[in-house]
Amino acid sequence: MARWIAALSGLSLVAIAFIAASRVADTREGLIAEVVTLFAGLVGMLLLLYGLVPKRAPVASDATPASPSPRRAGPRSANDLLLGSAGLLVAAVLLTGLVMSGGSQWAVIGALLLLPMIAGCVYLCAAFMAAPERDWTISLRRLIGR
């Protein structure tokens, strides 16, 4: 129940942020509206994520040590290559837009912000290429659902 309340209050704070964004101007009231926009958006997204992300299952506190997670069974599918290359393409488009509109300094800041995404996409492509067995089929069902 608390997660539903958090999700609904987060959604309402995001709505307040969009409403306050329409009142931003170069006046004192506009600056206050800008602060309301930023804080309402930040807190709203945090509450929304808290409400929507599922809770982890409790870990059993047995005396036996936890076994390491088993490796992925079967060959790597081309889904990894597709997702990795699509992510790298999106990062390249975003960084190109930053270079063209904001200059190289903004592109460096954008690259730092995109670094986790770029690293994950490179990992997916490299894991597919380094796998001893590869499955070259792309399954949309595996991409969308679990």
- Considering its fold, how many domains does the chain have in total? 2
What is the reported pLDDT for 71?
Answer: 57
Asked if residue 42 is part of any domain, the answer here is: yes
- Look up the domain containing 100 and give its range: 76-144
CB-based contacts of 54: which residues, under 8 Å, 6+ apart? Answer: none
pLDDT digits (tens, 9 = 90+) for 22-73: 877 778 777 787 887 888 888 888 887 887 777 776 766 655 555 555 555 5
Residue bearing the bigger pLDDT, 67 or 105: 105
Asked if residue 66 is part of any domain, the answer here is: no
Asked if residue 67 is part of any domain, the answer here is: no
Asked if residue 57 is part of any domain, the answer here is: no
Where does the pLDDT of residue 93 fall: very low under 50, low under 70, confident under 90, or very high at 90 and above?
very high
pLDDT digits (tens, 9 = 90+) for 70-87: 555 567 777 888 888 999
My answer on whether 86 and 128 are in the same domain is yes
My answer on whether 135 and 98 are in the same domain is yes
